[in-house]
Amino acid sequence: MLLKITFDYRSKNDIFEYLLYFYAKNYIYDYEQKDEKIIIKFQGEKEEIQAFCSNLENISHSIFLDKFDLKIIEENFTPIKKEKKFTKRSFLTRLNANAYTQGELLENEWGIFVEEEFKIEDEFIKITKENFHDNLKKALEKLKNKEKIHFKNSKGIYAFEIFNENLDDFLMPSDPKHINAFFSCNNEQLKILAGVEKPLMKLKFNAIFRQNHQLKDDYFKMKIYDNLFLFAICFELEKEGVKFLNFKKLEHFEDDFEVALIENKLVVCRGYDYILPEFKNLIFQKEDKNFARISCMLSDFKDKKPLLLELSKKYDDIILLDKELNLLKLCLPKSYDEFYQTISQDEVAKRLLTNYTKEFTLPQKDLNITNSFFSLFGMVGMILELDNDEQNAALKLLTLADESKMAKGVRIDFKFNEQNEFDYTKTLRSVMSFKLAGVENQIIALGVVESLAYFLRDLFDDLRAKEQVNCALLSGSLFEHKSLSKNVFKHIPFFKLSDVPLWI
């Protein structure tokens, strides 16, 4: 009998491959990874197949691993023995976590005990099996005395303490069962948080927590313990009723790994630990890191015709056809006066401007912005008087759209002009018209984001009809906002997401 298992795996990293190698090293099997699919073939009698599958149950879940299909087929195969050097990982896994709860200290499957260094007294030290319990006791005493512990890893230096109403950079539960005491967290989000990669993820505070605390934001970052020493600290504190630790990042070396779950799709926002090592090296060696990031993403689409939608909160936006032709000619003004002068050349727009100034105060300032839809959102937000700063105004507009419970917003003009340049003036005029008509800011905000999604859909559909594209590759930090992503997911079903993060 031949067992064939096909996994959907949204990354080219070797995490799952190594764990399979570790737990199935006594079996002969064939492994193939291609186009977000992992195919495993194993030949044996019924009892051998059952034993093989039982061993696979020991593998800690990866956030990149999605659904799988299992088939028994009657055919022979010749396994190909491949020698490979795997990337070492310092993960907390079921193996070392369960061992600790049983009174044993073990390395993880990669042979790593605790990679991070902790500063419990005067200096950072390496945690070993020999000093583990002594340092754990000291750390627990300090924490219970309302003192902070510091630790250092490849991402930076952090300080943490028992949660005491202060919110710094992220929270960590002493046990995942406590997450819903503070946050609204569904099973899919919990599954991602508990994945072997232990990402950061923004969750929404629940209604009770919001009522009892004065909060700047409704969302806050969460993370589950990702090394054995932190796990032991949380495990012991949980016995004494502690529910959360509060973390602050004191020094930044690299971005922490952060994801979002939008419409049950994993969106990698920050952190480059889980892309191919050669991609990471290439990106960070280049002066233009964003261009290098885009190049690495596109290299995965050699056999496809992707339309790259690079929408950023930091860089100029790009809509790339054939991996080299930028279809987006977006040139935003250097000041609001430039915008007013431009539209005043049209009599209808001039009347709109006059009528608008009778009801509302128009922004009057120079603009130092990128040529991006995020910057356009900032101009919209300032016209709607959401904020006097273009970046804050853009973020507030996106928050309104993200938090909207409405089925749809108003339709805002997103159009190319006769010169195939994006006509930002039509967008702003459309917003002003709806504002004058008494439409609420949140309805306009949702309409702005939705209308951008419609604009991208229409462009994609036109190119697809001409057989110039067959998928849309979503890239750039604007896609971390659910109001945009869920609309693009809905209207461009041929979309692709990369394991290369949105941010750089």
The pair phi, psi for residue 239, each rounded to 5°, is: -65, -25
Residue-level pLDDT at 76: 72
Do 220 and 326 have their domain in common? no
pLDDT, tens only, 223-272: 999 999 999 999 999 999 999 999 999 999 999 999 999 999 999 999 99
CATH code for the domain of 107: 3.90.870
Element (H, E) at 376: helix 373-383
Total domains in the chain come to 3
Angle between helices 336-343 and 347-359 in degrees, nearest 10: 130
CA distance 413 to 448: 8
Q: Kindly state whether residues 196 and 249 are assigned to the same domain.
A: yes
Distance, CA of 39 to CA of 439 (rounded, Å) = 53
Residues 305 and 436 in one domain: yes
309 pLDDT exceeds 90? yes
Residue 89 lies in a domain: no
Above 90 in pLDDT, residue 365? Answer: yes
Residue pair 93/113 in contact by the 8 Å Cβ criterion? no
Do 63 and 176 share a structural domain?
no
Contact (CB, 8 A) for 68 and 6: yes
Q: Does residue 308 share a domain with residue 352?
A: yes
- Helical segments of 102-252, H only: 132-144, 179-182, 187-193, 207-212, 228-239
What is the average pLDDT value for the chain, to the nearest integer? 95
Residues 65, 133 within the same domain: no
Residue 44 pLDDT exceeds 90: no
**Which regions of 194-324 does DSSP assign to beta strands (E)?**
201-205, 219-222, 244-252, 258-262, 265-270, 306-310, 318-321
Beta carbons of 221 and 127 less than 8 angstroms apart:
no
253 and 287: one domain? no
Q: What is the pLDDT of residue 80?
A: 67
Task: Let me know: does 128 contact 113? Beta carbons within 8 Å.
Answer: yes
pLDDT of 83 above 90? no
> What is the average pLDDT across 368-377?
98
Q: Which residue has the tokens 């750390």?
A: 139
Which pLDDT tens digit goes with each residue over 341-355?
Answer: 999 999 999 999 999
In the predicted structure, residue 26 carries a pLDDT above the cut 90: no
For residue 44, tell me if it sits in a domain.
Answer: yes
Residue 399 phi/psi, 5° resolution? -65, -45
Residues 49, 118: one domain? no
CATH number, domain of 279, equals 3.30.420.40
- Residues 283 and 257 occupy one common structural domain: no
Query: Does 236 share its domain with 154?
Result: yes
Predicted pLDDT of residue 84: 87
Where does a domain end: 235, 262, 289? Answer: 262
End-to-end CA distance of the chain: 48
The residue-averaged pLDDT of 123-130 equals: 98
> What pLDDT, on the 0 to 100 scale, is given for residue 43?
84
pLDDT bucket at 215, cuts 50 / 70 / 90? confident
**Beta pairing partners, 321:** 325
Residue 239 is predicted with a pLDDT of 98
Average pLDDT over residues 25-43: 88
The reply to whether 268 falls in a domain is no
In a domain, 84, yes or no: no
What CA–CA distance (Å, rounded) separates 109 from 379?
Answer: 51
Which CATH number do you get for residue 49? Answer: 3.30.70
φ, ψ of residue 422 to 5 degrees: the values are: -70, 130
**7 part of a folded domain:** yes
Residue at 229 is within a domain:
yes
Q: Residue 336: its pLDDT value, please?
A: 97
Average pLDDT rounded to a whole number, residues 10-37: 91
Element (H, E) at 475: strand 471-475
Q: Is residue 80 included in any domain, yes or no?
A: no
With beta carbons less than 8 A apart as the criterion, state whether 306 and 298 touch.
yes
Is the pLDDT at 399 greater than 90? The verdict is: yes
Residue 49, pLDDT > 90, answer no
Has residue 81 got a pLDDT over 70? no
Q: What is the pLDDT of residue 10?
A: 94
Domain that holds residue 414: 275-503
pLDDT (tens digit per residue) in 150-191: 999 999 999 999 999 999 999 999 999 999 999 999 999 999
Three-state secondary structure readout of 128-162: CCCCHHHHHHHHHHHHHCCCCEEEEECCEEEEEEE
Query: Does the pLDDT value for residue 197 go beyond 90?
Result: yes
**Domain co-membership, 490 together with 394:** yes
pLDDT category of residue 119 using cuts at 50, 70 and 90: very high
* Structural domain includes residue 267: no
Looking at the fold, whether 324 and 233 belong to one and the same domain comes out as no
